Chains A and B, each alone.
Chain A
Amino acid sequence: MRLEYFQLIDRIVDLDLAQQTICAEARVPSASTIFEGHFPGYPLMPGVLLIEAMAQTSGWLVIAVTRFSRMPFFAALKEAKLRSFVHPGESLSLSAKLLHEGSGYAVTRAEIRCGSKLACNAEITFRLVEFPNPEFRASMEKMAAILEFPIGALAHG
């Protein structure tokens, strides 16, 4: 995780286009100015950032399913449950499943586990739009490479 860049996942470890699922991993930094305020003397990963991590995981799944033809923008969140505290330095397993790919939107169900413990889960809706410009798309392709997004799998899925 690079919180200062709003990069909430480290690596995509599995992408199954047939099952329309994705798995990713992330390690919460041991230190961040965020933990100085959230909370002094009791640092916790903010729930809103856990939700963003689920959204980013889901977003890469949607990008995969739509073959990099649409950019998913976070639009709605339902049934979000923050079930357990996540502390600095912990390793997270993130996963998402596509519930529906509509015309111009997609819905996923996502969760984060810390070890065997379910940390949070939610249903997330995205608006799908064409990439607004080539520079933005290029930046997403660059990020895909950083995250080891299996872009080659899209041609065979």
Chain B
Amino acid sequence: MPSTFETVANIISETCDIPRDTIKPESHAINDLGIDSLDFLDIAFAIDKAFGIKMPLEQWTQEVNDGKATTDQYFQLNNLCTRIDELVAVKGA
């Protein structure tokens, strides 16, 4: 079974046509990979489907806009994968 990161990286690669080998756990989806908000909707759709979750993008965006969180916390891939794992754990609890 692929890791969360492997699944997310494959989704990003396929959705945004980014070479898979350039996508690292420390990559920032926006700053490093250049993914814009519209492309991220496609990625979110694929992630939601793949993991059976609903990523709280509105809440995350609000926290960033309010200065309560940095984009790194949600959009650096290793952090994003941690959030996904947490959502999956909550769903399975």
Which A positions have Cβ atoms within 8 angstroms of B? 75-76, 100-105, 107, 125, 127
Contact = CB atoms under 8 A, between A and B. Distances in A.
B42 to A, nearest CB: 7
Given A102-B57, A104-B57, A76 B41 contact: yes
B68 to A, nearest CB: 17
25 contacts: A75-B38, A76-B41, A100-B45, A100-B48, A100-B49, A102-B41, A102-B44, A102-B45, A102-B48, A102-B54, A102-B55, A102-B57, A103-B54, A103-B55, A103-B56, A103-B57, A103-B58, A103-B59, A104-B58, A104-B61, A105-B44, A105-B45, A107-B45, A125-B41, A127-B41
A71 B62 CA distance: 17
A76 B56 contact: no
A22 to B, nearest CB: 20
Interface string B29-70: 000000000100110110011000011111101000000000
A107 B41 CA distance: 10
B41 A105 contact: yes
A53 B56 CA distance: 30
B45 A125 contact: yes
Nearest to B62: A104
Contacts of A100: 45, 48-49
A105 B42 CA distance: 10
Contacts of B54: 101-103
B57 A125 contact: no
Nearest to B48: A102
A104 B61 CA distance: 10
A103 B41 CA distance: 10
